[in-house]
Amino acid sequence: MNRPTPLSGFPEFLPGARAAELAVLDSLRATFELHGFCSIETRSAEPLDQLLRKGETSQEVYLLRRLQAATDDLGAPAGSDLGLHFDLTVPLARYVLEHSGALHFPLRRYQIQRCWRGERPQEGRYREFTQADIDIVGHDELSKDADVEVTEVMAEALSRLPLPPVTLLVNNRKLIQGFYLGIGATDPAAVIRTIDKLTKVGPDAVRRTLTAEAGLDDAQVDRCLALAAISAPDPSFAQQVLALGVSHRLLDEGLSELVRAVESAMHLRSERFSLVADLSIARGLDYYTGTVFEGRMATHGDLSICAGGRYDALATDGRSTYPGVGISLGVTRILAPLIARGVVGADRSVPSCVLVAVATDDHRSGSREVARALRARGIPTEVAPDAVRFGKQIRHADRRGIPYVWFPATAGTTHQVKDIRSGDQVDADPDHWRPPHDDLHPRVTYREEPT
RNA sequence: GUGGGUGUAGCUCAGUCGGUAGAGCACCUGGUUGUGGUCCAGGGGGUCGCGGGUUCAAGUCCCGUCACUCACCCCA
């Protein structure tokens, strides 16, 4: 077979699916900018030693290698190796340090770029994928309001997308860490790592691990599981936490932070977005220090489609530290499975709103004139490629989802435009006719799955 | 990296005991010479993933290999 085969983990969309993806990306960008977040783009490659900091040692990094590299380059120090970034947070940290003198803090930035991970691909897990991140980075300090703000922006961004609803689960690292310290756990980090797997492996497995590896007794494990079982869409979770009778300075601090985050997010709820305080959310990464997020879509099972949190030291150069809080949205992870199942798509595969028909080759210049007049008023228009019979030209439009076919005036006839969905055909003037606003550009279609 | 599954038309798949390569959908043409979708008739399209082996004969059996895919790990 001469036809190339697909590359596992490197998804590519057909034009219609790409149109849907573009519409989603445009929507995200518009929302982020509406909140005053600026865009940055960082280079695709970072020095390998930079990538492997931040407790990300387990990441499968794609290395960059020059085909024509001289042999003695192989002897170069390991630190000079380049790798493709596997997220947008590590590059942000590097960027902030590199440009700290020229940036204004707090820095509110969004970043929509490809990332690469060498792990085995599966549904919803890719080797090349697009991520949309928003972060707020401070200089030495960062207000607690930043946590609320990124929550608000992402809530709005998700609410606007014509996609399945998202639940954002929120917790606070200080709260659970303080709780574990309060019950006498000696290695709270180990407890966090174990609790993070609760939904995956279940309470029995967690109990065994907590006993064996974190050295907790049965009573302590009971209280950990009781804490992790707490979940509420409003600040009422605080009473449940207090009822467990544990006290610790960090616990109190985290509790009030989480209450505040949940309270200020109450008004963000919509049909497509809900926020829940869920004390089983821990996040495995150890650099999170406060609020942690994990977003789920019911269509994606246990896979989280967005994640993030606060880190007291996103970056540090010895003199200054740069605390940050942010959320990453897995654009490819959300879209690729939904597109593959036919749940999400676009109502057309080309941007064209109008196809101008060509009666005969002699009439082509007249058809071009009509197209120019429509384009001059911002209506995406293409001219039929061949002067074949009109039935075939209409079919050309139909196949691509182009909603209108324009029949230019000829000797004895007037200009007419046909809505090929309804079949309605009316007289029209190229300098004045305008389609309904909704027909102007491709739109994302969302069809709920028959379950 | 570990373990399972699957590779046949553009897509989804069938192919019996080893005996001439199939269906549905899609595509093209015509019915319909300036108006699509429905319907009817016809048509094109295959190195059966690749390599080797057994056999008179292999899509089918054996070995190898590659790709895809699912699960574990980890994560958007």
Residue A129 pairs in a beta bridge with: A115
CA dihedral A329, A331, A334, A335 (to 10 degrees): 170
Cβ atoms < 10 Å from Cβ of A376: 11
Per-residue pLDDT averaged across A125-143, rounded?
Answer: 95
Residue at a domain's end among A316, A345, A374? A345
Q: In this structure, which amino acid lies at residue A59?
A: Q
* Residue A25 vs residue A206, higher pLDDT: A25
Judge if A193 and A242 occupy the same domain.
yes
Q: Which of residues 304-363 of A touch strand B (CB under 7 A)?
A: 304-307, 328-330, 332-333, 357, 359
Q: Give the residue nearest to nucleotide B2 (CA to C1').
A: A120
Asked, for residue A10, whether it belongs to a domain, the answer is no
The two three-digit tokens of residue A40, written as one number: 């940055």
The Å distance, CA of A7 to C1' of B44, is 30
Residue range A397-444, pLDDT digits in tens? 999 999 999 999 988 889 999 999 999 999 999 999 999 999 999 999
Judge if A339 and A375 occupy the same domain.
no
Q: Are A294 and A160 in contact (CB under 8 A)?
A: no
Asked, for residue A62, whether it belongs to a domain, the answer is no
Check residue A217 and give its pLDDT. Answer: 85
Check residue A382 and give its pLDDT. Answer: 96
Judge if A241 and A364 occupy the same domain.
no
What is the band of A218 on the pLDDT scale with cuts at 50, 70, 90?
A: confident
DSSP H or E stretch at residue A400: helix A390-400
* pTM for this entry: 0.91
Residue range A84-111, pLDDT digits in tens? 999 999 999 999 999 999 999 999 999 9
Indicate the length of chain A as a whole number.
Answer: 451
How many distinct structural domains can be found in chain A?
A: 2
Distance, in Å, from the CA atom of A95 to the CA atom of A91, rounded to the nearest integer, reads: 6
Is there contact between A398 and strand B, defined as CB under 7 Å from any strand atom? yes
Q: What is the CA radius of gyration of chain A?
A: 27
Residue at a domain's end among A345, A375, A404? A345
For A53-62, A117-126, A430-439, which range has the lowest pLDDT when averaged over its residues? A53-62
Identify the residue whose tokens are 């490819």.
A332
Distance, in Å, from the CA atom of A137 to the CA atom of A148, rounded to the nearest integer, reads: 14
**HSE value, Cβ hemisphere, 13 Å, CA-based, for A71:** 0
The Å distance, CA of A2 to C1' of B18, is 29
Judge if A129 and A202 occupy the same domain.
yes
Residue range A308-354, pLDDT digits in tens? 999 999 999 889 999 999 999 999 999 999 998 888 999 999 999 99
Q: Which of A38-42, A158-162, A210-214 has the highest mean pLDDT?
A: A38-42
Question: What is the DSSP code string of A208-257?
Answer: HHHHHHS---HHHHHHHHHHHT-EESSTTHHHHHHHT----HHHHHHHHH
Identify the residue whose tokens are 């794609």.
A62
Nearest to A197 by CA among A121, A79, A302: A302
Q: What is the CATH number of the domain that holds A382?
A: 3.40.50.800
Check residue A309 and give its pLDDT. Answer: 93
What is the band of A1 on the pLDDT scale with cuts at 50, 70, 90?
A: very low
